[in-house]
Amino acid sequence: MTARNPVRAWLGRDINVLLLAGAIGLAAWPFFAGDAYSLRLLTVAGIYALAAIGYQFVFGHAGALSLAQGAFFGFGAYVAGILSVRMGAGFEVTFPAAIAASTVLAALVALPVLRLQSHYFALATLGIGQVVLLVAVNWESVTGGANGIPNVPALSLLGATVGRGWPMLLLVWSLVAIGALIARRLTGGLTGAALRLMREQPMAAEAAGIDIRGVRFAAFLLSALYGGAAGALQVHTVRVVSPEVLEFPVMVMLLAIAVIGGRTSVAGAILGAVLLVHLPEWFRPLERYYLMAYGLALLAMIVAAPWGLIGLLRHVRQRWLPEPEPPPPVAGPMPVGRPPARLEITGLTRRFGGIRAVDGIDLVVTPGESVGIVGANGSGKTTLLNMIAGAEKPDSGRIGWAQADIAGLPPYRIARAGIARTFQTLKLVDGTTALDNVAAASWHEFGGPGRDAARAAAMALLQKLDLAETAWKPCGALPPGLRRRVEIARALIGGPALLLLDEPAAGLTAAERDSLAGTLAALNNDGTTVVVVEHDLAFLEKFVARIVCLDQGRIIADGAPADVRADPGVVAAWLGQPLDEGGGHG
């Protein structure tokens, strides 16, 4: 049997053949159209593609609705225009200066703005654009005021003029190609999976050691960098820089390109830019009715392709020409376990208004122990777990771990210290395969290029948890029991010394519970310390040697399962009546 030709294999994957055909068509188009107008439109499309590729870092990959990309684009245009007109600087100066200025602006505003979430973040970033616009309109001596700065010279690079038409087109699209390759490099592979985890399940991403604020900061700066670069090109194409370049329609255009092309696909940004620059021009003969036609066309595209045009193409390909499932990757060695450590909690307290959810808890978990935490709803179990994992900050108290106080540290630092967790409500990325859900959690260890190594490690864990068959299945298609185990596999990929589980048996069938209990017992036998919050005593008794019962934020019993079950305080506060042998609660 001969090995498959790698080029044919690449063409057969995903929508690569369509993308290649599109790239060839795009490259050939100016040769057929050939006139200055067509060349100009493609040049402008390239500029917007570059800005949109940058916008995808923050809007697409980091999942933050920034409305500042238009401001970075316009700011770059102003910097390049002012340097070019007032100082006669060439592109070798204006281009890096525009990039640097936009990136510095982003860094300055990032500190206050990136603390905000969802619509507050969107509004704050919109405000950045408005402030820059006001400065441009009112600082007449520098910016030319509302007239702007006319007569921006044609782009000059090291003394040679890059004229409009073909030279400018080639320069712009060369920079688009470079920008696209860098973006692919930065967001592809394991990084892509990690970014998707961060975007769709931020709590799980932090629990996997991903510093979300750091990633968002980097994405914000990268988006500004690309925006500034595109602005520097725009000013030499339009030959005037005026406040219109900072106005909201530019931002709307970039947003529309990202949404219609595809939020996270470089090819989507390029396709969206080419389409959205040309679409109004096609409708222009309709005079004042063109906006109506343009709006309807955009609406039709959003309705028919909510995941973007690239997503639509992928959908069509999967529907009409489904790709065969590849063989599972070869399993690598199991992740190296962290050194065992002792968890020592002292006087831990957390209040919510007037309620003490956790009230001065002292608890020690020795290495290799398996502990169940039980109690009625509202007794403080999940709050305690969240504080250990960093999702909640304690009001007072100490959480000792490996000779350090980890109380109040962000979740990603606690995860990197060897404490992993799962969630009461599953936090998996449904559209991603089980393999990549697990692999993504090792991003901070393997980095972007380490996808193969991460997948090999993930495969080893999937095999260990009897999930090998699910490797290429999207998590959304798996039954609850298997999804629980995928989440446990994800938590284990960092080789944690302590595994925290929040109600892992919730929603499982009896058979699935038995299987899960066996899995957790095996993990504990391998040396992993396990702390499980659970309502189901019968489930816990299959693998824990110690149970801690909470009531109103305090420990009311701590000991062997049989002793805790018989404790009168536990009966009164939680069980209500003695349980039959083998019965559950919760």
Kindly list the residues in this chain that would bind another protein in the complex (CB under 8 A): 35-37, 40-41, 44, 137-138, 140, 145-148, 150-151, 234, 237-240, 242-245, 247, 249, 280-282, 284-285, 287-288, 290-291, 297, 300-301, 303-305, 312, 315-316
CB of 291 to another protein, least distance (A): 5
CB of 168 to another protein, least distance (A): 12
Is the CB of residue 417 less than 8 Å from the CB of residue 340?
no
Q: How far is CA 286 from CA 64, 249, 340, 551, in A?
A: 36, 20, 72, 71
Sign (positive or negative) of CA dihedral 413, 414, 420, 426 = negative
CB of 201 to another protein, least distance (A): 29
DSSP 68-87: -HHHHHHHHHHHHHHHHHHH
Other C-beta atoms lying within 10 Å of the C-beta of residue 382: 21
CB of 249 to another protein, least distance (A): 7
Pull the structure tokens for residue 514. 């038995």
CB of 37 to another protein, least distance (A): 4
CB of 430 to another protein, least distance (A): 22
Bridge-based pairing of strands 156-157 and 160-161 is antiparallel
Minimum CB distance to another protein smaller for 239 or for 542: 239
Minimum CB distance to another protein smaller for 161 or for 396: 161
Minimum CB distance to another protein smaller for 104 or for 154: 154
CB of 36 to another protein, least distance (A): 5
Minimum CB distance to another protein smaller for 42 or for 210: 42
CB of 280 to another protein, least distance (A): 8
E-assigned strand segments in 432-544 = 498-502, 529-533
Minimum CB distance to another protein smaller for 244 or for 395: 244
Minimum CB distance to another protein smaller for 309 or for 492: 309
Minimum CB distance to another protein smaller for 316 or for 355: 316
> Quick one: DSSP state of residue 151?
-
What type of residue sits at position 192? G
* Nearest alpha carbon to residue 502 among 403, 420, 428, 558: 420
Q: DSSP 3-state assignment of 400?
A: strand
DSSP 538-569: HHHTTT-SEEEEEETTEEEEEE-HHHHHH-HH
* Nearest alpha carbon to residue 544 among 346, 340, 368, 317: 368
Residue 283 bridge partners (DSSP) = none
Minimum CB distance to another protein smaller for 150 or for 518: 150
CB of 99 to another protein, least distance (A): 21
DSSP 164-176: TTHHHHHHHHHHH
Is the CB of residue 373 less than 8 Å from the CB of residue 500?
no
CA distance 343 to 381: 16
Minimum CB distance to another protein smaller for 270 or for 305: 305
